[in-house]
Amino acid sequence: MEKSLISLCLLSGLSIGNSFAQTPSKPNILLIVADDCAYYDIGCFGAVNNKTPNIDALARQGIKFNCAYNSVSMSTPTRHCLYTGMYPMHHGGYANHSRVNDDVKSLPSYLGELGYRVGLAGKWHINPLANFPFEEVSGFPKGCTSPKTDYTTDGIKEFMGRETLQPFCLVLASINPHVPWTGGDASVFDRKKLQLPPHFVDTEATREYYARYLAEIGLLDQQVGDAMKILQDKDLLKNTLIIFISEQGPQFAGAKWTNWSAGVKSAMLASWKGVIRPGTETSAIVQYEDILPTFIEIAGGNVPDVIDGKSLVNILQGKTEKHHKYAYHVHNNIPEGPAYPIRSISDGKYRLIWNLTPEATYIEKHIEKNEWHVSWKTQDTEQARRILKRYQHRPEYELYDITKDPFELDNLADKIEYKQKKAELIRELESWMKQQKDTGIDKDVPRTPNKKRAQNPSAA
């Protein structure tokens, strides 16, 4: 009842303790999703090699989330979490290229019942499609591994500008900067002057492919600018919530397909004229599962118990600086390589990573065949040996102070002064796994979908 009252007040234009909480009607929603983009390569999150002026403009117009995370650093499960509001084991589609349980409900169904047109332009990577009944909006490439990155905004123009009293929710899912890194203008980057992330081995091939990847971030930024111009031209900015997320890290060793921050931390921004105070930041811990319940609340609905996420409305209104106490992450390596299950937890200052099979060698099939990764193995240097060992041979526990060591190179797990923090995070992680019915090692197997309806794990 309380949540319904808050939603009613928000939608009727009444102030809820904040002069910025004024909306004349149900807002439109634009959710922009990048594809394999590191948070640290977005300008306002500290990029040193490239510029992202259109994305940065969203930060100036709204709020920057400094502790936003996905739960799985792979495209299919990340999008399953995003569109269902459920943690990976709960919706069942936790492995890459897997499918959610048959009766799992998603974004287009929830918002459709609340009177919204819900469309998706670009990448899908969600299964089964029957559980995700988006209207397909044309113009943006759907295949993330296609070398063709040309796009047209005609489809999203038509969708946004359709003559209807219905509000819309549009997901603009770019394929940039996913490999093969053929889009944008890589010639603008002087390979010799690039500042590589510290978990990269410095080779000519690394610099070449990093430049190509950065070029696709430029194309991503262009797409963001195009979408914003359409909203402006159609006078829709005054009543549209815009959220940008960078998805997981890129397809470089130590980012995508890992539970390090380079894989699971997100560049997340939100802009909503008249509701979000421009130029604000928050260190509240948020996860992608929180985005759907946010949309449901601002659309005037009640968030069902089956959803694991928690609405961000109070953060958007500037009413709180706190959200979750911990962020949680999972990795199951099949079908990307041999089994290598990982779980992790973060309290915003520390990250604990639990490698469930530390005796195994970590192998990801796409990484292994890349030219830049082959070049790493040919380097007979201390730096190369250290980085490759960190990537392929991991201890059971890793503990990092991510505020001082954001690239997680100094493992504190065996230091006596961190014994209490390590024990706390292990205890909390195991409790979450139990609540999610996550049995760990035996989950990293070929995925057999559960035909039964997903139930609220906290009630089980």
CATH number at residue 193: 3.40.720.10
Position 16 scores a pLDDT of 34
54 shares a domain with 94? yes
In a domain, 458, yes or no: no
In a domain, 459, yes or no: no
405 shares a domain with 262? no
350 shares a domain with 250? no
As a three-state string, the secondary structure of 255-289 is CCCCCCHHHHEEEEEEECCCCCCCCEEECCEEEHH
CATH number at residue 425: 3.30.1120
pLDDT in tens, the chain (460 residues): 344 434 444 444 333 333 333 344 799 999 999 999 999 999 999 999 999 999 999 999 999 999 999 999 999 999 999 999 999 999 999 999 999 999 999 999 999 999 999 999 999 999 999 999 999 999 999 999 999 999 999 999 999 999 888 999 999 999 999 999 999 999 999 999 999 999 999 999 999 999 999 999 999 999 999 999 999 999 999 999 999 999 999 999 999 999 999 999 999 999 999 999 999 999 999 999 999 999 999 999 999 999 999 999 999 999 999 999 999 999 999 999 999 999 999 999 999 999 999 999 999 999 999 999 999 999 999 999 999 999 999 999 999 999 999 999 999 999 999 999 999 999 999 999 999 999 999 999 987 656 554 544 433 3
Position 450 scores a pLDDT of 60
355 shares a domain with 317? no
CA distances from residue 325 to 67, 287, 296, 419 in whole angstroms, order as listed: 11, 11, 22, 20
Position 202 scores a pLDDT of 97
161 shares a domain with 232? yes
377 shares a domain with 278? no
- DSSP E strand boundaries for 6-46: 28-33
358 shares a domain with 251? no
Indicate the burial class of 381 (C-beta count within 10 angstroms; 0-12, 13-18, 19 or more).
exposed
Per-position DSSP letters for 180-218, written without gaps between them = T--SS-GGGS-GGG----TTS---HHHHHHHHHHHHHHH
159 shares a domain with 76? yes
CA distances from residue 139 to 44, 158, 173, 182, 350 in whole angstroms, order as listed: 28, 11, 11, 18, 42
The angle that helices 2-11 and 291-298 make with each other, rounded to 10 degrees, is 70
Q: Report how far residue 337's alpha carbon sits from residue 331's, in angstroms, rounded to the nearest whole number.
A: 12
CA distances from residue 127 to 77, 78, 79, 91, 94 in whole angstroms, order as listed: 10, 12, 10, 11, 11
Are the beta carbons of 90 and 106 closer than 8 angstroms?
Answer: no
DSSP secondary structure code for residue 73 in this structure: S
Domain boundary among 294, 325, 356: 325
In a domain, 70, yes or no: yes
In a domain, 396, yes or no: yes
Phi, psi torsion values for 428, nearest 5 degrees:
-70, -40
* β-sheet bridge partners, residue 240: 28
User: In degrees, to the nearest 5, what angle opens at C-alpha 367 toward C-alphas 362 and 371?
Assistant: 135
Q: Report how far residue 123's alpha carbon sits from residue 146's, in angstroms, rounded to the nearest whole number.
A: 11
Six-digit token string for 456: 């609220």
Q: Report how far residue 30's alpha carbon sits from residue 7's, in angstroms, rounded to the nearest whole number.
A: 19
Tell me which residue range forms the domain holding 120: 2-16+24-325
264 shares a domain with 386? no
414: Cβ contacts below 8 Å, ≥ 6 apart: none
| H or E element at residue 8 | helix 2-11
User: In degrees, to the nearest 5, what angle opens at C-alpha 405 toward C-alphas 366 and 361?
Assistant: 35
255 shares a domain with 364? no
What pTM was estimated for this model as a whole? Answer: 0.93
Q: Looking at the 3D structure of the chain, how many domains does it have?
A: 2
For 391, the 3-state DSSP assignment is helix
DSSP secondary structure code for residue 318 in this structure: T
CB atoms within 10 A of CB 154: 11
79 shares a domain with 197? yes
Q: Report how far residue 173's alpha carbon sits from residue 8's, in angstroms, rounded to the nearest whole number.
A: 30
Are the beta carbons of 231 and 237 closer than 8 angstroms?
Answer: yes
In a domain, 453, yes or no: no
In a domain, 454, yes or no: no
Q: Hunting for tokens 């089956």 — which residue is that?
A: 306
Domain boundary among 298, 325, 352: 325
**Helices and strands of the chain, counted as H and E runs:** 14, 13
376 shares a domain with 314? no
For 91, the 3-state DSSP assignment is helix
In a domain, 177, yes or no: yes
On the question of a cis peptide bond just before residue 141, with omega within 30 degrees of 0, the verdict is no
Domain boundary among 270, 300, 325: 325
